[in-house]
Amino acid sequence: MNRSVTMILAAALAAAAFGCTQFGGVATLRGADTAAADKAPAEQLAYTGKKPGLQKPIARTFSTQPPLVPHAVDNFDEITVESNQCMECHGMDSYQKKNAPKLGDSHLDAGKKLVTMDRYQCNSCHVPQVDAKPLVDNTFVGHLPQKQ
Ligand code: HEC
Ligand code: HEC
């Protein structure tokens, strides 16, 4: 494509884009520039669980599901390179003392007490609960193997 054709095309595209926003034809769904950081939600809902030790586990809805976190995680959800606050109760050295469920066997380096790096960021799979309205209706019922 020669240079003048490219320039005419670019000008036409710019005019089209300008026309759309100018006359309200196209807008972002979030109402913000896509390159801008997402706005924080107006308020954070309180966790439905209280401090660890007071809850029953939440029933799992399918096999291989990461169990949901039944307790609140205020003040101890920090996971950094140096420390992992979940491990202070769920780690192999602490779970008995803290009377907490021990982390999944699949999370440990074979034969060691260390958590594998793909399981280090606990809250990417285990999520605490809030009483939030579902964003969309759904008919999910779960699927657990039948007990024999
Ligand atoms: C102060 C100790 C403590 C800390 C810190 C802690 N937990 Fe727990 N956790 C517990 C106890 C105790 C239970 C048993 C249920 C209860 O009493 O709330 C539990 C239950 C759970 C369960 C449910 C297990 C199952 O089989 O259903 C998950 C998942 C979990 N915690 C994940 C986490 C994650 C992720 C973190 C870090 C953000 C964390 N916990 C931090 C003590 C703790
Ligand atoms: C990649 C997803 C993933 C990550 C990351 C992860 N888990 Fe899990 N977790 C699971 C799944 C799936 C299960 C259930 C099956 C199993 O034991 O592997 C589970 C089970 C558990 C259980 C219940 C164990 C049992 O025997 O019932 C605890 C407690 C737990 N995880 C804690 C943790 C903690 C603490 C961390 C961070 C150090 C963590 N998990 C990181 C997926 C994950």
41 against 3, higher pLDDT: 41
Nearest-5° Cα angle at 141, 139 to 144: 160
Q: How confident is the model at residue 32 (pLDDT cuts 50, 70, 90)?
A: confident
**Atom number, ligand 2, closest to the C-alpha of residue 119:** 5
Tell me the average pLDDT across 4-17: 54
Tell me the average pLDDT across 44-71: 94
Ligand 1 centroid to residue 119 C-alpha, Å: 15
Ligand 1 centroid to residue 101 C-alpha, Å: 7
Evaluate: CB of 95 within 6 angstroms of ligand 1: no
Model confidence pLDDT, tens digit, residues 66-122: 999 999 999 999 999 999 999 999 999 999 999 999 999 899 988 777 899 999 999
For residue 51, the one-letter residue type is K
Evaluate: CB of 47 within 6 angstroms of ligand 1: no
Ligand 2 centroid to residue 133 C-alpha, Å: 26
Return all residues near 102 (Cβ < 8 A) that are at least 6 apart.
Answer: 90, 92, 95
Its sign, for the CA torsion 135, 141, 143, 148, is: positive
Phi, psi of 10 (to 5 degrees): -60, -40
